[in-house]
Structure 1
Amino acid sequence: MTPTPDVDCLVIGAGFGGIYAVHKLREAGFGVRAFEAGSDVGGVWFWNRYPGARCDVPSLAYQYSFSEELDRDWTWSERFATQPEIQRYARFVAERLDVLPHITFDTRVTAAAWDEELTGWRVVTDTGTTVTCRFLISAAGALSAAQTPPFAGIEDFAGQALHTSRWPADGVDLTGKRVAVIGTGSTGIQAVPEIAEQAEHVTVFQRTANFSVPAQNRPLPPDEVARAKAHWADRRAATFTTRAGHVIPTTGKRILDVSPEERMADLEKAWQFGGNEFLGTYIDTSKDLEANALLADFVRDKIRSIVHDPATAEKLVPTGHPIGSKRICVDTAYYETFNRPDVELVDLRAETIETFTPTGLRTTAAEYAFDTVVLATGFDALTGALTRIDIRGTDGQSLADEWAPGAQTYLGLTVPGFPNLFTVTGPGSPSVLVTVVIAIEHHVDWISGHLVHLRAHGWTRTEAEPAARDWWTDQVRATTQLTLHRHAPSSWYLGTNIPGKPRLFLPYAGGLDNYRVVADGIATDGYRGFAMTGAREQAPL
């Protein structure tokens, strides 16, 4: 008899993906164990505790949809929830679903190797634990591998260096400090106004100006929450038929068909409503460059009207890419912050960072002194959480090497040469382009369904076929070409923020609705594109 794995399913991570995977797989009758590097559930919302950390998706949409009981018993306080509230929600769900006993915290998975004799995986952690499993499910998160650029001399800086995704749990007192913030993506745009309220002086180093719209955040009134809870079934049904994973209000009009006066009235109303739903005001601005330019110009004019100093305003005005082709940001008084006399903007397109010094950093144009540097420098998105684990497939090949020319998957869920490995929100899935909690639900449900299918047939091994991977890679590429994403020369969607990373648009841009139809059709067709085989002498799971 060949050996039997310690557990049916091993889950990496205890964020929203890990919590739901443990629950769903247990519900399907599988033995499950999970490892989490943090000391609590929450994933990205455990680690990203920087000032101003807040979700950019409305709270009523950024939650699990599978349980009416969970929906009924949890109430969000704000339209856009803060990091502490989101983590409390994750803990609430984990406790309610009783998944905590199955999660080992403060334990990072460092390696996993396929064992043909075992027909499973040998998984190693940083605590020295080795566990074998039949199926390995990575829910490590699309945005969990923090990226710090290789700044020259940063080890010489004598002050405090903080990365936004590893912010101390007990906070940081920046009162009276001179603070540098490097990075103006979503994180930097959220953090700068909060840091400016504390610090003596803030210097913001911007490489790329990004489009940002006001959150117009507010408390959620009880009647609005009650209406949402009363229509839980309708909301859930609508969620999976949308491109974005939640219903986005729209005028239903084409911006090119309305008068300038009507356009300004519609856009002003959407600006005052706030949130990234602003992008959905008109139905043609995500497809047509001429239409998109009208939307982008409205935002550019807003920036110029908010920022008092014309030179600073022009630095903050995004150019070179259509609005929405890179992830749009949602802010609270970001542009207004640059009207403060104690906030300075440095354009890294005009002057580049040469080196850190003991007291700050030097650019090609000047020296800057500060006490604390905040690195809002983002993530090695979609692939980093997986390639930083030494994952070895059937021939001992590493996943990092397999993806070195560019990450290719089947449905964003599996990789040929790596049997019984599943990647929740992996490259090639809708993941970061949609409401990720809803994408997670679909991915985990699909994976669970696949494992149940294997069990029903007495099969213990499943592997995506290379032809299926190639077909899906073509679908991801072709779908991207139908969107304005192809006109953004650089973005973390393409991996251009990581030195040496292949330039490849990583997520599937066809929308959650279309993805669900394709993936579910593959499942209905007996999991087309997979080679599934049975055990030799292994006892059935």
Structure 2
Amino acid sequence: MSVVDAVVVGAGFSGLYTIHRLRDDLGLDVRAFEAGDGVGGTWYWNRYPGAKCDSDAFVYCYSFDPDLLQEWRWSGKYPEQDELRRYLEHVADRFDLRRSIDFGTRVVSGEYDEATSTWSVTTDAGETVRTRFLIAAIGHLSISKYVPSIPGLETFDGQWFHTGSWPHDGVDLGGKRVGVIGTGSSGVQSIPVIAEQARHLTVFQRTPQYSIPARHETVDDAFWREVKADYGAIFERSRTSAGGFPWQHNGLRALDVPDDERLATYEKAWAEGGFKFALGTYRDVAYDLDANRTMSDFMRAKIREVVEDPETREKLIPEHPFLSRRPIVDTGYFETYNRDDVDLVDVRAAPIEEITPRGIRTTAAEHELDVIVFATGFDAITGPYFGIDLRGRGGATLTENWRNGPRAYLGLQTVDFPNMFMVTGPGATLGNLPLSIETHVDWITDCIATMRHDGHTTIEPTPEAQEEWSAHVDSVASGSMISRADSWYNGSNIPGKARAYVFYFGHFGRYRQRLLQVADDGYTGFALSS
């Protein structure tokens, strides 16, 4: 059995940076395992048509190396999957990270040994590695795909795919009748592209979505020159902002300004596009329902302006408040429904009964299809963790400890699992993920360095601290728009999954300060042993 200082699970944004910090900055002996045959994590696996980042590229990247920021040039405002994967390959090569990664290797179990205060990590290759520190850099959405249990799928004569496991060599949809089930982020991204490729597209929608236009045209050479000249300040603003992006709200309440002024504010942000519309207007739209209604109604009106057919238009109007589900950014999504070769099926009005050899049958009709695409999302957070048999102190299993929903202290560690760190685990902020990842990895690195310096062997959260933080996570979510809709944010997208808020929807900048204060105060809320 080989022995290392740290095992890292995953080689996406989280895993690569963790390897770099622990190996190159702390000098630890690090071994990483990655199920895919290359780096990238989410951006290795998700290759469906139209797959792209919907956060602005200039901040959806690593900030830790000024030279890296200057040398990499994104092709546009929102990079597509292949460009993001190439970026992470560039990072892996630039920092010589591949030599620490076992590719094509899945971690199947991790067991904590109280006698030695170490973890035994076993892979699907049959190898077991012993380590002091186990770092789960497994992401939220990359592997645990959700395919709904619809009777008859095995009888379908055509092909079917999940967006999260799209064949790497692509799928020829030319001349085919395609059905897409789901209109979340992957559905909204893929539907316009599939419509261009297929002979006919039928979209099966359960929940209508708000979506913000991408506005690719707002990024040009002058924009990139300005960004490169100001990158330090941009990321400093991002680190202190509410969502990890360099935008702040205007400090005003939506209902405290005249209607025409509020409309002008929304129109300006709408013209700029992207998440800035959600984060850069009024301070209370995420928490006050009346304030939110002004923004939600504005977006509903925008849908009605675009979609021509009256019946289709009304099917696409969301009833839930904007920001109660994950914001979506699109390129021509609503315009797609103006095509003659695209149909929309409201499965709330006509639920899917079964999949037949010829297609999908609802209570109203049978839709003949050659290809079915499941854009049905993921078992977020718990799915990737439950895919590994993790056993901690006293034989405690993560599946049992989290049977009523995932619980962790600050999104970093969970009770009964000493020295197991989670990068953006349950109860961490969401927002701009690369910056959230850097925040966690830097904290974990400093924590391990402090432990080694002070002679501590283990660290884990106290039950009291974990429950206090979990209650705070629930309280913040309950007081926001998040509480007003079901989504993968609370696990309701998976039948039988415990309902629990999986992210902290509080202020990112203040969350960062909380992490720093906890460390400065001697790791309050954690129990350290020697």
Do they fold alike, i.e. is TM over 0.5? yes
Gaps of 5+ in 2: none
SS in 2 for 1:395: helix
In structure 1, what is the equivalent of residue 517 of structure 2?
521
Q: Is the 8 A contact 2:324 2:481 kept in 1?
A: yes
Cα distance between partner residues in 2 of 1:252 and 1:411: 27
* Partner residue, 1:123: 121
Query: Contact between 2:218 and 2:272, CA under 8 Å: does it hold in 1?
Result: no
Mean Cα deviation higher: 472-481 or 263-272: 263-272
Q: Structure 2 CA distance, aligned partners of 1:110 and 1:184?
A: 32
Q: Does the Cα contact within 8 Å between 1:5 and 1:118 map onto a contact in 2? A: no
**Structure 2 counterpart of 1:537:** none
Contact 1:434 1:511 (C-alpha < 8 Å) held by counterparts: no
Q: 1:47-446 counterparts in 2 under 5 A?
A: 47-144=45-142, 145-218=144-217, 220-248=219-247, 250-279=249-278, 280-319=280-319, 321-430=320-429, 433-446=430-443
Q: 1:251 to 1:528 in 2, by over 3 A?
A: closer
- The superposition leaves residues 279-302 of structure 1 with CA deviations (integer Å, 9 ceiling, x where unpaired) of 232222222211111111111111
Alpha-carbon RMSD: 1.4
Determine the structure 2 residue equivalent to 1:511.
Answer: 507
The whole-number CA distance in structure 1 between the counterparts of 2:419 and 2:2 is 13
Structure 1 residues 172 and 252 mapped into 2: Cα distance closer, same or farther (>3 Å)? same
Alpha-carbon contact 1:163-1:374 (below 8 Å) kept: yes
Structure 1 contact 5–120 (Cα < 8 Å) conserved: no
Q: Distance in 2 between matches of 1:342 and 1:223?
A: 39
Q: Is the Cα contact below 8 Å between 1:289 and 1:484 reproduced in 2?
A: yes
Aligned to 1:23: 20
In structure 2, C-alpha distance between the alignment counterparts of 1:419 and 1:108, rounded to whole Å: 22
**2:238–2:247: 8 Å Cα contact kept in structure 1?**
no
Distance 1:407 1:313 in 2: 38
TM-score by length of 2: 0.97
Report the Cα distance in structure 2 between the residues aligned to 1:483 and 1:457, rounded to whole angstroms: 41
Q: Which residue of 2 aligns with 1:12?
A: 9
Q: Partner letter of residue 348 of structure 2?
A: R
Work out whether residues 210 and 318 of structure 1, in 8 Å CA contact, stay in contact via their aligned partners in 2.
Answer: yes
State the alpha-carbon separation in 2 of the partners of residues 384 and 332 from structure 1.
Answer: 29
User: Does the CA contact (< 8 Å) of 1:383 and 1:426 recur in 2?
Assistant: no
Question: What is the deviation of 1:258?
Answer: 2.8
Moved over 4 A (4+): 249-252
Identity %: 48
Aligned-partner Cα distance in 2 for 1:497–1:276? 23
Counterpart Cα distance in 1 of 2:219 and 2:285 = 29
Distance in 1, matches of 2:363 and 2:437, equals 44
Q: CA shift at 1:441, angstroms?
A: 0.2
The alpha-carbon deviation at position 471 of structure 1 amounts to: 1.3
> Whole-Å Cα distance in 2 between the matches of residues 221 and 214 of structure 1?
17
Q: Which deviations, in whole Å up to 9, do the C-alpha atoms of 1:205-263 show, x marking residues without a partner?
A: 00111111111113842322122112222122212101110112655443313333333
The answer on whether the counterparts of 1:111 and 1:390 sit within 8 Å (CA) in structure 2 is yes
SS for the counterpart of 2:504 is coil
Structure 1: which 5+ residue stretches go unaligned?
Answer: 535-541
Secondary structure of 1:53 counterpart: coil
Quote the offset at 1:395 in angstroms: 1.7
How far the C-alpha of 1:475 sits from its partner, in A, is: 1.5
Count matched residues.
527
